[in-house]
Amino acid sequence: MQIGIVGLPYSGKSTLFQTITKTHIDTSALGKNETHQAVIKVPDNKLDKLIEIFSPKKTNSAIIDLVDVIGLKKGDSGSTQFTSNFLSTVKTNDALVQVVRLFANDAVPHPDGSVDMIRDIASFETEFILSDLSILENRIERIKKTYQKSGGDLLLRELPTLEKSYEILHTEKPLREAELNDNELFILKTYSLLTLKPMLIVLNLDEGQRNDAEKYLESTRKLKAGKNTKVMSLFGKIELEMSELSDDDAALFMSEYGIKESALHMLIREAYDLLGLQSFYTVGEDECRAWTIKKGMTAQEAAGAIHSDFVNKFIRAEVVGYDDFIKNGGSFAKSKEQGVWRLEGKEYIVTEGDIISIRHS
């Protein structure tokens, strides 16, 4: 899974990237068209506990590919320009995190002259809509010209979906919030449309705005939150300082500032929810591992995440829920005695935290 962090210059986008990845970016290079990228392990208390129980030779956490997308620049008119380099990079991301500046800082002026979160959110949505409109318009014209020359209805099967999406975008509505069926989504996936990507809007505040955080969150959620758009807030500068502390000192720091959850945990939790993802586990003395799959996947489909051959060779899945396993002392034998360890067939729907062993031919 690849998540792109986007935001206007001086929004705190790169600060968030550094906080989550615990890396340092040379600020003198921030004006260059460079994209910073890092792979991070997904924090997982369940996996940590399973590792403690089994003391395996090998461990594997779920991972996320995080990208600090660079490429926005100031145009001749003074407004921010969305470059082709920026847009092409964003197209490769599975989900987007838009960092929106709410803090004032005279030493670092806002590129558009003033702090206005509604304007900044809208600027991205407008550019993404224009990009998608251009892609769809070109594709629709190409399909119609090809049909006129050679006939046939293969390409025309795409046309109703493309025209429907084009009209939705003309109403200034992003496709991520549109009512589209599975077949329409399958067709649109080919085009890497920007407004179809799930969006997490992150409001970046400073320490002096702690009392206003909920107010900003509520007003933004009323405006933008939907089935594929979520909103959260954080204090970017505080989070960066906290990321440089030991775990014990960070916990004290969080308590002092009333921070219930770190930026890393919040972002990953919200991203998993946006993308409809969940984790299941395989455990043993050799390896404990977290696997990331889509919610609603069957045991047979989940087996394919472990190894592609397991899909066709699937026989049964041995399953016990994480909570049941822990309640029974981290013992498979006790879990069997209590009837919470069970055999499931290929149609079983995997749930968050399932500990699974695949029987295959």
pLDDT digit string (tens) for 47-73?
Answer: 999 999 999 999 999 999 999 998 776
Residue 46 has pLDDT above 70, yes or no: yes
Write down the pTM of the prediction.
0.88
The predicted pLDDT at position 68 comes to 94
In whole angstroms, what separates CA 178 from the centre of its chain?
Answer: 19
Per-residue pLDDT at 258 exceeds 50: yes
Instruction: Give the residues across from 357 on adjacent strands.
Output: 318
CA distance 229 to 209: 24
Q: Which residue in 285, 112, 294, 126 sits closest to 194, CA to CA?
A: 126
List helix spans (H) across 34-190: 45-54, 84-90, 117-150, 159-170, 182-189
Phi and psi angles of residue 59, each rounded to the nearest 5 degrees, phi first: -130, 150
Provide the mean pLDDT of the chain. 91
Q: Which of the pair, 189 or 35, is modelled with greater confidence?
A: 189
- State yes or no: pLDDT of 30 exceeds 50: no
Nearest to 96 by CA among 131, 60, 47: 131
Asked if the model's pLDDT at residue 98 lies above 80, the reply is yes
- pLDDT at position 243 is 87
8-17, 187-196, 249-258, 339-348: segment of lowest average pLDDT: 249-258
The pLDDT of residue 151: 60
Sign of CA dihedral 80, 83, 87, 90: negative
Flag whether pLDDT at 237 surpasses 70: yes
Tell me the one-letter amino acid at 228.
N
The residues near 91 (Cβ < 8 Å, ≥ 6 apart) are: 192, 194
Q: What is the pLDDT of residue 26?
A: 61
> What does R_g of the chain's alpha carbons equal in angstroms?
23
What percentage of the chain has pLDDT greater than the value 90? 70
* Backbone dihedral angles phi then psi of residue 106, each to the nearest 5 degrees: -60, -25
